[in-house]
Copies of this chain bind each other. A is one copy, B any other.
């Protein structure tokens, strides 16, 4: 229990089901005096919201965030910040057929195994709608880190299905990411990805992909070994996002085939500073940041909700046939980009505060 908080010093606790009264987060530990507006937060949320393009679900959700505490005269006060988005009214009847069914690869069955019963409207607490709370809190962290340290979070879509983009993560800008609806800065690959998603959608199916995470300008020295290492906390953050099945930092799974002499990143002097010639590690050694760019990849499985008919069972142990009635994303990747950024920002912000505690 009590698994709904993330972070030690910059700590969010999220709440809400897809069809309850509201979703949102309490953010405890935000430094006082940060100037930020609801509009700035909303901007990040709009990158995540449904219905933003032809390749995302046309479902409409009320993703409008309100700040109800911890905020005064345009600034954070240092006290807990409640950010809330009310859910729209809806007809429960739309979901009646899900009341008894265990949808394949959804959390219906496991939530019942754990809690004895479940809020069966939409996906209840297991709905990805919860991630809007993360994006809202992440927007605050991003602003703080940008102002204090010029840290940048630039994630993008690197792969959809079998289509792999060819991108230099060092060169990508925020504008590049927003230059197309799939959020892939390789325009050729982006075009193919969009075509694939449209095809998959037409087939009533779904497809997965990989998001590349990039974090620039992180100072050397962040991270708390031996457990709260930066790669460990990033991995936890990313693996807690709906549909994520894998995380790798630096060369990751590809790096295992290299020799140590190839994989090691030699130090040299550049611009008077100690830098590494290569960055196979992905920006950390021993779990502590090196000052080089943090880069990692996050694997998203194909969305579980599909229109095609599937066989499965219900709570009465009857075998049934199911096909999704509602409107769903054929591919979550473009909407997941701001979530990856947000979770990255929560991790780095928390570690930056922990670092200050120790070294001031």
Which residues on the B side are within 8 Å of A207 (C-beta)? 256-260
Chain B residues with CB below 8 A from A68, complex form: 15-16, 20-22, 84
Residues of B with C-beta under 8 A to A285? 105-107, 109-110
Q: In chain B, what residue has the closest Cβ to A309? A: B261
Q: Produce 1/0 per residue, A71-82, CB < 8 A to B.
A: 110010111111
In the complex, chain B residues whose CB is within 8 Å of the CB of A267:
102, 104, 109, 312-313
A67 within 8 A of B: yes
Give the residues in chain B near A116, CB-CB below 8 Å. 32-33, 78, 359
Query: Residues 339-360 of chain A: 1 if any B CB is under 8 Å from the residue's CB, otherwise 0?
Result: 0000000000000011111111
CA distance A265 to B246 in the complex (A): 18
Asked if A185 is at the interface (CB within 8 A of a chain B CB), the reply is no
User: Quick check: B1 and A286 within 8 Å, CB to CB?
Assistant: no
Most buried by B among A77, A79, A290: A79
Contact A15 B69 (CB under 8 A): yes
Among candidates B15, B238, B240, residue contacting A81 with C-beta atoms closer than 8 Å: B15
| Chain B positions within 8 Å of A172 at CB level | none
By a CB distance below 8 angstroms, the chain B residues around A169 are none
Expressed in whole angstroms, the Cα–Cα distance for A69 and B291 within the complex equals: 28
Highest count of chain B CB atoms <10 Å: which of A9, A15, A222: A15
User: Cα distance A81–B2 when bound, in Å?
Assistant: 11
Binds B, one of A57-65, A174-182, A298-306: A298-306
What separation, in Å, do the CA atoms of A69 and B158 have in the docked complex? 36
Contact status A245-B248, CB under 8 Å: yes
One complex includes copies of this chain to the number of: 4
With A and B bound together, what is the CA distance between A274 and B274 in angstroms?
Answer: 47
Q: A118 at interface (Cβ–Cβ under 8 A)?
A: yes
Question: Residue A284 at the B interface, CB < 8 A?
Answer: yes
Let me know if B269 and A313 touch, CB within 8 A.
yes
- Contact status A22-B82, CB under 8 Å: yes
B274, A1: Cβ atoms under 8 Å?
Answer: no
Let me know if B312 and A33 touch, CB within 8 A. no
- A247 at the A/B interface (Cβ < 8 Å)? yes
Given A227-B6, A236-B233, A357-B356, check contact A259 B200 (CB 8 Å). Answer: yes
A110 near B264: Cβ-Cβ < 8 Å: no
A36 touches B (CB below 8 Å): no
Partner of A229, one of B228, B234, B239, B357: B239
A115 is an interface residue with CB less than 8 A from chain B: yes
> Does A213 have its Cβ within 8 Å of any Cβ on chain B?
no
Please determine whether A226 and B14 come into contact, CB atoms closer than 8 angstroms. Answer: yes
Residue of B with least CB distance to A24: B82
Contacts of A289 in B (CB 8 A): 110, 113
Against B, the Cβ 8 Å flags (1 = close, 0 = not) of A105-145 are: 11101110111111100001110001000000000000000
Q: Are A107 and B286 in contact (CB under 8 A)?
A: yes
